[in-house]
């Protein structure tokens, strides 16, 4: 049975990832900050729900200790925040730092902590939910905080994919689309079901040749 671990699974994309992979008869390890309040997540079925704050070193270390020795085929680093929406001249550097902590340091903390779990598995996949808003090529003058955090994540994962390439890692960055979530808004054109279905179908077909790629939920490659 394929084992999937998902961060930020109590709502939005993470919740839909949990639903769809559970429906595929995978073992799902779902994490969120407050499992007791994650009613929709707990209602999915027989999944393992754990407390995890990706910005807290101790929280990450505690879960890593709890899951030590368990193989994780696919680690989905999904947890993230939008940060500040205001632009140049109104930047809040405390919020910017908090956003970087969640969107960049968080996924890398988790990737480092669960490296052995993933590398000892059959599939050896690390999936990182980013955004095409982190593309330098497509940059436009808005959302400085969010864009810069995703650009930084893209670089970190690209480095990771190169460093562990010879060990068989498959690290892939996914743009989920503009999705109808708390972050994307209900007027967004893509439903969570369509976004996750598109990413899931690609994830299950990934090969080592895909290591280090930056892909859209619909299969298109995104320029760096």
How would you class 200 by CB atoms within 10 Å of its CB: exposed for 0-12, middle for 13-18, buried for 19 or more?
buried
The model's pLDDT over 15-48, given as tens digits with 9 standing for 90+, comes to 999 999 999 999 999 999 999 999 999 999 999 9
- For the chain, the average pLDDT equals 95
Average pLDDT over residues 189-198: 92
> pTM score > 0.75 for this model?
yes
- The answer to whether 43 and 90 are in contact (CB under 8 A) is no
Going from N- to C-terminal start, the domains of the chain cover 3-216
187 pLDDT above the threshold of 80: no
Q: Under CATH, which architecture does the 3-216 domain have? A: 3-Layer(aba) Sandwich (3.40)
């Amino acid at each position: 049975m394929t084992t999937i671990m998902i961060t930020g699974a109590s709502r939005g994309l993470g919740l839909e990832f949990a639903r769809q992979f559970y429906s595929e008869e995978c073992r799902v390890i779902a994490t969120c900050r407050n499992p007791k309040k994650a009613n929709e997540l707990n209602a999915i079925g027989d999944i393992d729900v754990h407390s995890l704050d990706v910005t807290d070193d101790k929280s990450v270390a505690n879960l890593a200790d709890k899951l030590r020795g368990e193989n994780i085929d696919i680690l989905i680093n999904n947890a993230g925040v939008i940060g500040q929406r205001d632009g140049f001249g109104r930047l809040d550097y405390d919020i910017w730092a908090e956003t970087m902590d969640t969107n960049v340091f968080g996924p890398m903390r988790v990737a480092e902590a669960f490296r052995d779990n993933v590398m000892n598995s059959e599939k050896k996949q690390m999936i990182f939910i980013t955004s095409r808003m982190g593309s330098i090529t497509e940059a436009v003058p808005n959302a400085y905080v969010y864009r810069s955090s995703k650009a930084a994540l893209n670089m970190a994962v690209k480095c990771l994919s190169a460093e562990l390439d010879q060990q068989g890692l498959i690290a892939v960055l996914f743009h989920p689309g503009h999705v109808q979530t708390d972050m994307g808004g209900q007027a967004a054109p893509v439903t969570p079901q369509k976004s996750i279905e598109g990413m899931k179908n690609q994830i299950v077909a990934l090969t080592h040749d895909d290591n280090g790629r930056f892909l859209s939920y619909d299969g298109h490659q995104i320029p760096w």
